[in-house]
Amino acid sequence: MPELPEVETVVRQFVPLLVGRRLTRIELLDDKLTLPPAICKTPRRVEAVERLGKQFVLRFGDGAPLLAVHLRMTGRLKWHNQPSAPDTAHLRARFILEHGEMLFYDLRRFGTLVVASSAEELAPKGLDPFDARFTPKWLFEQCQRTSQAVKPFLLRQDRLVGLGNIYCSEILYTARVDPERPCNTLTRAAVARIQRHTIEILERAIEHCGTTFSDFQDSRGEIGSYQAFLAVYGREGEACPSCGAAIRRIVQQQRSTFYCARCQR
């Protein structure tokens, strides 16, 4: 489910709810999730809530270890401060504070909790698209090094972090680049379009609180609205908004790719 814009949305919503507050304990409700018992039992103050790649990260005071939540496909974080008991279906962990709790739901149980002593330890290998080093020149150099098809390349988190299956299709459509084009055959101009539209599409998705299909909900259980802007993702057979040709679906590395064969070269 969540790609960069969805994680960024959840982080921004939790900042005012958690920062400066005291996390009293963590309850794990799924055998697959493990954390050191001391981490679960020791109360500590939340110093910051941040996004690192697609990870949701809690930073604490007193040099305490950082805690990262990776939502993977179907993870959701939801704020609960009602007197009534929360919904327990697919509830995997509860982060209990004095004024409410952050609930971690995860239908498919791919999500993970990770403890790390530093942000460096958690930081993904790839560059964040909002990092100043993410330039057309940098991306062109990365592309020159591989003959991999450009769409699976953009999905790789060890080069660029944050893009998932939805936004890769949308970026390549907007940049008018064929998803099967080997990276090292792309022109500088095409790479520059990919770079520019990556930033633009992610910014716009964040403004609209992300994309919702079925699983993504933000901290209030509400849904993002960016799906209304998707030009090709999930639209096989529909008319390309630009030329009217039927949008195609192909499979690359067992993932669906949607594109317009007439517009994207």
Give the shortest CB-161-to-DNA separation in angstroms. 7
In the beta sheet, which residues pair with residue 244? Answer: none
Give the shortest CB-173-to-DNA separation in angstroms. 15
Task: Give yes or no: 137 in active site.
Answer: no
Give the shortest CB-62-to-DNA separation in angstroms. 28
Tell which residue, 218, 167, 220, 233, has the closest CA to residue 194. 167
- 143, two tokens: 């592309």
Give the shortest CB-42-to-DNA separation in angstroms. 27
Tell which residue, 247, 218, 241, 220, has the closest CA to residue 229. 241
- 77, two tokens: 């974080």
Task: Give yes or no: 2 in active site.
Answer: yes
Contact 227, 201 (CB under 8 A): no
Contact 94, 29 (CB under 8 A): yes
Among residues 12, 94, 255, 262, which one is catalytic?
255
What is the C-alpha to C-alpha distance for residues 235 and 175, in angstroms, rounded to an integer?
18
In the beta sheet, which residues pair with residue 235? Answer: none
Task: Give yes or no: 59 in active site.
Answer: no
Contact 226, 210 (CB under 8 A): yes
Among residues 2, 65, 129, 179, which one is catalytic?
2
Q: How many C-beta neighbours within 10 Å does residue 60 have?
A: 17
Among residues 54, 92, 159, 181, which one is catalytic?
54
- Which lies closer to DNA via its Cβ, residue 129 or residue 164? 164
Q: Catalog residues that contact DNA under the rule CB under 7 A.
A: 1-3, 6, 32, 53-54, 70, 72-73, 90, 107-110, 145-149, 152-153, 155, 157, 164-166, 210-216, 253-256
Task: Give yes or no: 200 in active site.
Answer: no
Question: Which residue numbers are catalytic?
Answer: 2-3, 54, 255
